[in-house]
Amino acid sequence: MRCPFCANDDTQVKDSRPTEDSSAIRRRRQCVSCGARFTTFERVQLREVTIVKSGDRREAFDRLKIEQSVALACRKRGVSQERIDQLISGIQRQVETAGEPEVASAQIGEMVMEGLKQLDSVAYIRFASVYRDFSEARDFEEFASTVADAAKE
């Protein structure tokens, strides 16, 4: 399992136990390289879903990829791993039960942004800036100010 913090491939399982409702196996891991600790889950996958990316590229739905980008966005923001897991599980369930064999990656990006918006505005801005690929500082400033305005309401 690759370390979400330094991308080192070598991590050790420190602890392994079922979640409270026994729907998943929770593993505490530690990166051999940077020492970071993180949690992984082994879960039932209801069905295979293909993600359609820009340029018509296709790949299998991969929860881990969403986890990594959300973990990066939430880094040092004090958002609990539990809330992050809930957000991603919610998205995964939505994707798997929608009944569509293919889902646009843009749609998943929007779901993640929608979820992060509720969790942490900085994480939301971070994710959106990568996801929307802001090419100019001006784009970013505009977006950040709309988030700040929304937070005031």
Give me the residues that bind Zn ion (CB under 5 A), please.
3, 5-6, 8, 31, 33-34, 36
Q: Which is nearer to Zn ion, 84 or 128 (CB)?
A: 84
Beta carbon of residue 56, minimum distance to Zn ion (angstroms, whole number)? 34
- In angstroms, rounded to a whole number, what is the distance separating the alpha carbons of residues 131 and 112? 10
Q: Which is nearer to Zn ion, 8 or 50 (CB)?
A: 8
Cβ atoms of 98 and 111 closer than 8 Å: no
Q: Which is nearer to Zn ion, 8 or 146 (CB)?
A: 8
Helix (H, G, I), strand (E, B) or coil at 14: strand
Beta carbon of residue 3, minimum distance to Zn ion (angstroms, whole number)? 3
Please compute Rg for the chain using Cα positions.
Answer: 17
Beta carbon of residue 65, minimum distance to Zn ion (angstroms, whole number)? 17
Cβ atoms of 23 and 17 closer than 8 Å: no
Q: Which is nearer to Zn ion, 81 or 89 (CB)?
A: 81
Beta carbon of residue 111, minimum distance to Zn ion (angstroms, whole number)? 27
Residue 39, H or E segment: strand 37-43
Phi, psi for residue 53 in degrees, rounded to 5: -100, 180
What residues form DSSP beta bridges with 29? 13, 38
